[in-house]
Structure 1
Amino acid sequence: MGMCIDITDSFECIYKDTDAPLKCSGRRGKITCIDLNVDPAISSLMADYEPEPVTCIATQHIYAEGMSNCSWASCREGCTREATRCHQIYVNYSKLPFKNYKSSMVMHWDVADTRFLINTEGCGYPPSVNCSEFARQYGYQSAGTPFPCYYSRVYPEVQVVARYSWDDTLRHLVLSITIPNLLFAASIGVLSYWYCPGCGRSCQKYMHHFPAEIV
């Protein structure tokens, strides 16, 4: 025989979240986490963007100042500092390829009022990234005019960018892996040659075969 326990009585409990929220950046307050940044090329590949541009339209453009008002930005000039001035652009997009778009069409938007970024990281460095020019092109008076954009097939609701190229992304990834490894291997080779006693003796022995030039 087994033993039965009556669990039909109900009771009330109260949950209190006593842990402080995570703070990964900023000047005031204690930093409680570390923000890990992934290489932009890897982030782009992981996002799996639609390679063919689709149709976007800007629905809202906000220009804000102050760190508290710039929790995110469509474009930042510099990826290692906090934004104190920012452009925040929201868009609707349709999965209709932009090349097939016609002004006479009645558009059906697949996703509405989502954040729009200049690239995967939402930042870059001049002259390739100019946020004032970016805002003039997609915000301000240009809002309401359809333009090409790229959406993430992994995060279709939250990740839409203005710039994407599979070939450029792959090239940057290969270079970011190859060049540091080649430099590291060359440095190890030079240091090994300088500090290896056997290498030095071999070099001196080799030089003895060539007498000094007589002037």
Structure 2
Amino acid sequence: MEEKPEVEMISVAESAKFYASLCLGTTAILSVFAFLFLIPFVVDPAVAALLADYEPEPVTCVASRHIYAEGLRNCSWASCREGCTREATRCHQIFVNYSRVPFRDYRPPVPLEWDVADTRFLVNAEGCGYPPGVNCTRFARQYGGESAGTPFPCYYSRVYPDVVVARYSWDDTLRHLVLSIAIPNLLFAASVGVLSYWYCPGCGRACHKYMHHFPNEDDEDYEDGAY
């Protein structure tokens, strides 16, 4: 009769271990899928943006042309796309002139000498995004149409000077890259590590094998003077 509490405790511990293992296994699987999902949507664009080496301080831009086109043939590129995985059948194509004069130093109506003229203008380094972060109608209204000719801040690539974007932050880009790589991989490693420790006896023995063992007075080798 006295053994019942121990049996019940063992049963509760086994149940808790089972559900914890289920959660850890699910976390490991979801971490893999999350990382694979983040590669095309966050990791690749962030790496491309960092390699493009955009000027961190906004320079002065003016829209030179704004074209609204329809049809896949006419929308071979777009300044803004709502959705990064589908082709655009309607698109806004905005071209800009930009000067490397920092926007904060520009004083209208002083004329500017353009360093690059009539080049493509993108909403961000990817040229696309998802609402509410990216709204192409609002973007086109802000930088094209009746707003053409009004100076505004923009960012150009120091590696590809013909690439100009409306939004860029080196800090945010690096932070998104680090988080998208670190979080899924750390969750996967932690989950697999705990499961391996619980269900792989050989893993535990392998860990103890490489741990440094300090002798004490109770060891036979210590008494024999082997140390």
1:73 counterpart residue number = 78
Amino acid at match of 2:176: H
Alpha-carbon distance in structure 2 between the residues aligned to 1:69 and 1:192: 55
TM-score computed with the length of structure 2 as normaliser: 0.68
TM superposition shift of 1:146: 0.5
Alpha-carbon distance in structure 1 between the residues aligned to 2:185 and 2:193: 12
> Residue 85 of structure 1 is aligned with which of 90, 105, 110?
90
Matched, 1:160 2:164: yes
2:114 counterpart residue number = 109
- Count of residue pairs brought into register by the alignment: 164
Task: Give SS of 1:116's match.
Answer: strand
1:125 counterpart residue number = 130
The superposition leaves residues 152-194 of structure 1 with CA deviations (integer Å, 9 ceiling, x where unpaired) of 00001x2000001111111111101111211221332354356
Matched, 1:196 2:206: no
TM-score computed with the length of structure 1 as normaliser: 0.71
Alpha-carbon distance in structure 2 between the residues aligned to 1:120 and 1:64: 21
1:175 counterpart residue number = 179
Amino acid at match of 1:47: A
* Uncovered stretches (5+) of structure 2, i.e. residues with no partner: 1-38, 204-227
Q: Percent identity?
A: 79
Task: Give SS of 2:150's match.
Answer: coil
2:139 counterpart residue number = 134
Alpha-carbon distance in structure 2 between the residues aligned to 1:115 and 1:179: 35
Alpha-carbon distance in structure 2 between the residues aligned to 1:172 and 1:94: 29
The answer to which structure, 1 or 2, has the higher relative contact order (CA under 8 A, 6+ apart) is: 2
> Residue 94 of structure 1 is aligned with which of 90, 99, 102?
99
- Structure number with higher helix proportion: 2
Cα distance change, pair 190–64 in 1 and its aligned pair in 2 (3 A): farther
